[in-house]
Amino acid sequence: MKSYSIAVIGTGYVGLVSGTCFAYVGHRVVCCDVDASKIERLKRCEIPIYEPGLDKLVAEGMQQGRLRFTTDIDAAIQAADVIFIAVGTPMSQTGEANLDYVQQAARMIGTVINGYKVIVTKSTVPVGTGRLIAQWIGEASHNQYSFDIVSNPEFLREGSAVYDCLNMERTVIGADRPEAAAIIAELHEPFGTVVLKTSIESAELIKYASNCFLAMKISYINSIANLCDQLGADVDEVAQGMGLDSRIGHRFLQAGIGYGGSCFPKDTYALRHLTKEAGCSFSILEAVIDTNEQQRLIVIDKLKQSLGTLAGKRIAVLGLAFKPNTNDVRDAPSLTIIPKLLEAGAIVRAYDPVAAEEARHVLGDQVVYMPSVQDTVMYCDACLILTEWEQIVESDWEKLHSSMSRPLLIDGRNCWSAEKMAELGFEYISMGRPFVPQRETSLRVPV
């Protein structure tokens, strides 16, 4: 296997994980960032994000001298054969992807380029961005050196990013010149993955088309769940029955409060914007977005149906991250739901095993952050489950039941069987599954 010298610009979730995995399989990698404090921490082998398994791989890469971290982006660019752009492309006010960081990275490359390089876009970018990157680099370098642009979108998931990267199901390589595509294919050889070579435009669109398709599956099953609530069917049974058809499959049919995170919300908006710019209509996508935004609010309706007014009610919120195994709260449903609870006058106590600090930056101190599930639910009038962390699902609910003022559990992620929770004495309400009347129980803690 040929070992490449790689620079990764942007050491966030994607840049850090993919850079570390490239080093793990034998390439020489320098991860760069403009965020000096992040790089300082990484140099001390401190991982700025919560991502299972990443710390071990970073330490190993550094010890073996194949993984380095720097703010000296110019030097890293000059020393590299292949440069990955992995900076953020957040949503702008209008819903389109903000390309400011990509443009900065491209101009930086153009300013210091010192020979032939393959420049690879890993960030999720609108169709046409590859051409723009070539233009920005060409302008900044006065076209002194030749280079190739490749689009190589990333498909890893947060929370299982290292696993996804090392076991990638496919790598998409969009390039104009076969020679450039061959270099990126060779670089991926150790992963033993399926390689799909396409045009730059197709590769850029594959990323959005994939994320929006997955988002569509989620909005679809959530709409079915809402129908189940009205018709008395059980969405878990429906999803199971659907999934047995291999053309449909079981994955991404978990009903709940909808998708969040740094990608599905922003990428659905970005594709919608791209569609409008192209003068096309994409009404399914409109419905996916709209359904997801409504879905988050359904737990509040369910709460009000049980409690009446929320004013003065003590609500325990379990789970703040947008999904388990990450401390990422970007566009997490909790950040929409909790402000609505506060607006309605509820007193909110919240717990998340790792994301409380991140949530505090957004929600502030109107929420009381608790150190455990037990402390959070104590004396509460209702408990809302927003993230299906193992620590939350596996808690001793039999014990927790007796410490709640009212054992009302609104499960936004369908974590348990309704029968089991009813058996434990909970007034248990989930998403798209029939209500099972609770068993009369025992004493509770006097309030």
Ligand X SMILES: NC(=O)C1=CN([C@@H]2O[C@H](COP(=O)(O)OP(=O)(O)OC[C@H]3O[C@@H](n4cnc5c(N)ncnc54)[C@H](O)[C@@H]3O)[C@@H](O)[C@H]2O)C=CC1
Strands (E), 180-253: 194-198
Q: Which listed option, ligand UGA, ligand X, none, makes contact with residue 407 (CB within 5 to 8 Å by class)?
A: none
CA distance 383 to 393: 13
Run of H or E residues at 232 = none
User: Given the complex with ligand X, which of 97 and 216 has the nearer CB atom?
Assistant: 97
Token readout for 204 is 């850029």
Q: Where are the alpha helices (DSSP H) in 370-417?
A: 373-377, 390-393, 397-401
51 interface partner picked from ligand UGA, ligand X, none, CB below 5 to 8 A per type: none
Instruction: Establish whether 43 is an annotated binding residue.
Output: no
The 3-state DSSP class for residue 358 equals: helix
The span of 58-66, 85-93, 127-135, 354-362 binding ligand X (CB under 6 A) equals: 85-93
Closest CB to ligand UGA among residues 313, 433: 433
Q: How far is the CB of 342 from ligand UGA (least distance, A)?
A: 22
Token duo for residue 410: 């609104």
Which one, of 80, 81, 49, 62, lies nearest residue 20 by Cα? 62
Report, in Å, the least distance between residue 170 CB and ligand UGA: 11
At position 383, the amino acid (one-letter code) is C
Residue type, 74: D
Terminal C-alpha separation, the chain: 67
Residue 168 is a binding residue for ligand X (CB under 6 A): no
Q: Each residue of 11-37: b (16+ CB within 10 Å) or e? A: bbbbbbbbbbbbbbbebbbbbbbbeee
CB closer to ligand X, 88 vs 258 = 88
**Interface mask toward ligand X for 61-80; x: CB under 6 A:** ------------x-------
Q: How many Cβ atoms from other residues are within 10 Å of residue 366's Cβ?
A: 11
Which residues in the 105-134 window bind ligand UGA by CB under 6 A? 124
Binding partner selected for residue 9 from ligand UGA, ligand X, none, CB under the kind-specific 5 to 8 Å limit: ligand X
Q: What is the DSSP string of 279-303?
A: T---HHHHHHHHHHHHHTTHHHHHH
Instruction: Say if residues 10 and 71 touch (Cβ distance below 8 Å).
Output: no
Pick from ligand X, ligand UGA, none: which does 314 bind, CB < 5 to 8 A by kind? none
Give the distance from CA 133 to its chain's centroid. 25
Give the single-character DSSP code of 3. P
404 binds ligand UGA (CB under 6 A): no
Which of these, 208, 206, 134, 213, lies nearest to 171 by C-alpha position? 206
Minimal distance in Å, beta carbon 441 to ligand UGA? Answer: 31
Instruction: Work out the widest C-alpha separation in the chain, in whole angstroms.
Output: 80
322 binds, options ligand X, ligand UGA, none, Cβ within 5 to 8 A by partner type: ligand UGA
Residue 324 binding target from ligand UGA, ligand X, none, CB below 5 to 8 Å by type? none
The residues carrying an active-site annotation are 263
The answer to whether 154 contacts ligand X (rule: CB under 6 A) is yes
Q: 214 is in the binding site of which of ligand UGA, ligand X, none (Cβ under 5 to 8 A by kind)?
A: ligand UGA
How many residues interact with ligand X (rule CB under 6 A)? 27
- State the DSSP string of 20-71: HHHHHTT-EEEEE-S-HHHHHHHHTT--SS--TTHHHHHHHHHHTT-EEEES
**Smallest gap from residue 240 Cβ to ligand X (A):** 28
State yes or no: residue 141 binds ligand X (CB under 6 A). no
Question: Using CB under 6 A, which of the segments 23-31, 172-180, 198-206, 259-267 binds ligand UGA?
Answer: 259-267
Residues from 236 through 295 that contact ligand X (CB under 6 A): 262-263
Instruction: State which of positions 327-386 bind ligand X (CB under 6 A).
Output: none
**Nearest CA-CA partner of 254 in 269, 267, 243, 262:** 243
**Residue 152 binding ligand X, by CB under 6 A:** no
> Binding site for NAD(+): residue ranges?
33, 38, 89, 124, 158, 266, 330
> Binding site: residue ranges?
33, 38, 89, 124, 155-158, 207, 252-256, 260, 266, 323, 330
Q: Which positions touch ligand UGA (CB under 6 A)?
A: 124, 154-158, 211, 214, 218, 252-254, 256, 258-261, 263-264, 322-323
> Binding site for substrate: residue ranges?
155-158, 207, 252-256, 260, 323
Q: Which positions touch ligand X (CB under 6 A)?
A: 9-15, 32-35, 38, 73, 86-89, 101, 104-105, 123-124, 154, 156, 158, 262-263
